[in-house]
Every structure is written in structure tokens, then in C-alpha cells.
Copies of this chain bind each other. A is one copy, B any other.
Amino acid sequence: MLDPRLKSFAQATNYAALTTLFSNGDPQTHIMWVDANDDHLLLNTQKGRAKYRNLLADPRVAVTIFDDNDPYRFVEARGRVVEFRHGAEASSHINRLSWKYDAKDFDGPLDQRVMLVVEVHRVIAHL
């Protein structure tokens, strides 16, 4: 089960800083949409992106979700991507995220989407 503070931060319309690692260990950090179910953080990227290539080689991530109205409040999660989901599930997930954040259908290409399922092993809440 996901830490309830993390789950609630991820299910609200807050953004996440997602960090992945290049093959030489250098970190890359992007601001992303995020969501959660009871057990995992769920993010969504696209084939061909550096972060996707990074994760195929090294699944470790930091996902730091900050309060959109007060960035002093943030919840830091560390873990790893345990599953990549493609196809209809990834398209329908990016559409749900688009509705959550922008209240409209996702307007980019759907066929290259990848849903990232993140297992979290460490949570630190800065609240």
C-alpha cells in the first residue's frame, strides 16, 4: 500500500519532478503529470524519450511531488519502475491525466505512450 500522504499528493493536481539516470549515472529531472492507485505511483512518458531509455537500463527513480500552490510542501518518494504498460492502457492513462490537469483530451500522439508503474520504497514528507 502506498503511503497515504504520498497517495493523496499524487492524486491531487500536483506536479511531480521525475528523476531518471543516464547510463553514466548522471541524473535527469523533468516536471511531469502524476497519479496513483492504492499501491503504485503512475506516470506516463513516450517511447524515444531519454527518460524511457534511461528507465529500461536502470529502473531507479526519485519522484518528488510538490504542492502546486505552495512548493514548500512536497513529498519525496524513492523507488523503481516495476512495469511498463503500453497500448490501450497507456493511451487511456494519458487521457485520464490530461483530463485531471487540463480538463480535455490529450492532444498528442497516443501510440507511443508508456505508462510507468513505480514501486516506492522510501517516502519523506516535507509538510
Contact = CB atoms under 8 A, between A and B. Distances in A.
B31 A66 contact: yes
B76 A30 contact: yes
- What is the count of identical protomers in the complex? 2
Given A68-B71, A71-B68, A19 B15 contact: no
Given A68-B71, A71-B68, A19 B25 contact: no
Contact-size category for A: 20 to 34
A61 to B, nearest CB: 7
A53 interface: no
Interface string A57-72: 0001111101010011
Given A68-B71, A71-B15, A60 B29 contact: no
A99 to B, nearest CB: 16
Nearest to A58: B25
Contacts of A68: 71
Contacts of A21: 25, 27
Contact of A28 (B31, B72, B76): B76
A87 to B, nearest CB: 26
B71 A30 contact: no
A26 interface: yes
